[in-house]
Amino acid sequence: MLPSEHERVVLELETLICETQTTIEQAETHGLDTTMPDDYAHLLDILDKAIKQQHDHTLAMLENDG
């Protein structure tokens, strides 16, 4: 991938991360983290994977840029 492609993916993942964090906060506010623990865990898993993918793409972008 070109650095610009990695950058595009990083930005799209940032949107996903922010939206997922907002959803997690709303779930916690309404107590869904305790009443729907499987769904809550799935949200945390999505967030974890998106952060890891963003990290990987950022490293690849930086490596290809130098």
| Structure confidence by residue, pLDDT tens digits, 39-58 | 999 999 999 999 999 999 99
Q: What angle do CA 14, 21, 41 make, to 5 degrees?
A: 115
Is residue 3 within 8 A of residue 54, CB to CB? The reply is no
Number of domains in the chain: 1
pLDDT tens readout for residues 4-18: 899 999 999 999 999
Domain that holds residue 51: 3-65
Please check whether residue 3 is in contact with residue 61, taking contact to mean a CB–CB distance below 8 angstroms. yes
Can you give the pTM of this predicted structure? 0.90
**Could you tell me what percentage of the chain is helix, strand and coil, using 3-state DSSP and rounding each to the nearest 5?**
90, 0, 10
